[in-house]
Chains A and B, each alone.
Chain A
C-alpha cells in the first residue's frame, strides 16, 4: 500500500512570511495529490490538488509542486495571514488501491501577528 510522510509536524511563521509543508510518498503509481485544511473543531476541507501529469498548480496565495522522480510534493503558502492558522494534511491516491486516499500525519501551522 501507499505510505505518506509529512514534515514538519508544527510550523510557526510571522504574518506575511511564506510557509512550506513537504510530503513524500512511497508508491510511484500514485497519481493524485490533494491538500486539506482543517480548522479547529471542523472537518478537513480541500484547498488545492494536483495530478501526476502536472508539475505545479497555483491558486491565489497557495501553490503545490510535484516531483514525480523524487516522489515528493509540497504546499506553499505566500503572504500568510492569521486565518491560515490550521492543520494541513497532504494525501496521495494510489491507482488500483480501491479508491482510497492515504493521508499524511498533518502539520499544525501557526501564523503569528
Chain B
C-alpha cells in the first residue's frame, strides 16, 4: 500500500522553464491538495480538489496550475518557473467521507530548485 506517491523527488529548473509535479494516491480518497513548505512559513495551500472534476485556489495559487486527471491523480504545473517557487512541494489526500475533518495523508515531498 503506497499511500501518496509524488514524482519527481528532486528537480532543478532554470528560470522560465516549465514542469509538472505528479501525485497519485491509492486510498480511494476524494480530496487532494498541493502545499508548499518554506522555512519559517509552514505549509501553505496552493490548490486543492475536493472531488474528481473540481479544483479550487488555495492561499498561494499564483504561478501554478493544477489538473485532477482522475480520482487517483492530481498534478501541479509550473508554466514559467521563478526563483520564488524554489520550495518543497507536498501532495496530500483526504477521505471525504469523514467530512471536513479527518486525517490528511501526505506524500514524501518534491524538492524544487529554480535557478
Give per-residue flags for B24-35: 1 if the beta carbon is below 8 A from chain A beta carbons, else 0.
000000010000
Residues on the B chain within 8 Å of A106, using CB: 42
Considering only CB atoms, which chain B residue lies closest to A100 in the complex? B45
> Number of A residues whose C-beta is below 8 Å from B?
26
Whether A45 sits at the interface, judged by CB under 8 Å, is yes
Query: Are B103 and A46 within 8 A (Cβ)?
Result: yes
Whether B48 sits at the interface, judged by CB under 8 Å, is yes
* Interface size, B (range): 20 to 34
Query: Are B43 and A98 within 8 A (Cβ)?
Result: no
Query: Are B100 and A105 within 8 A (Cβ)?
Result: no
| Least distance between A87 CB and chain B CB atoms (Å) | 9
Interface of B toward A, CB cutoff 8 Å? 4, 31, 40-45, 48, 50, 56, 58-59, 90, 92, 100-101, 103-104, 106-109
Interface of A toward B, CB cutoff 8 Å? 1, 6, 9, 32, 34, 36, 41-46, 49, 51, 89, 93, 95, 98-106
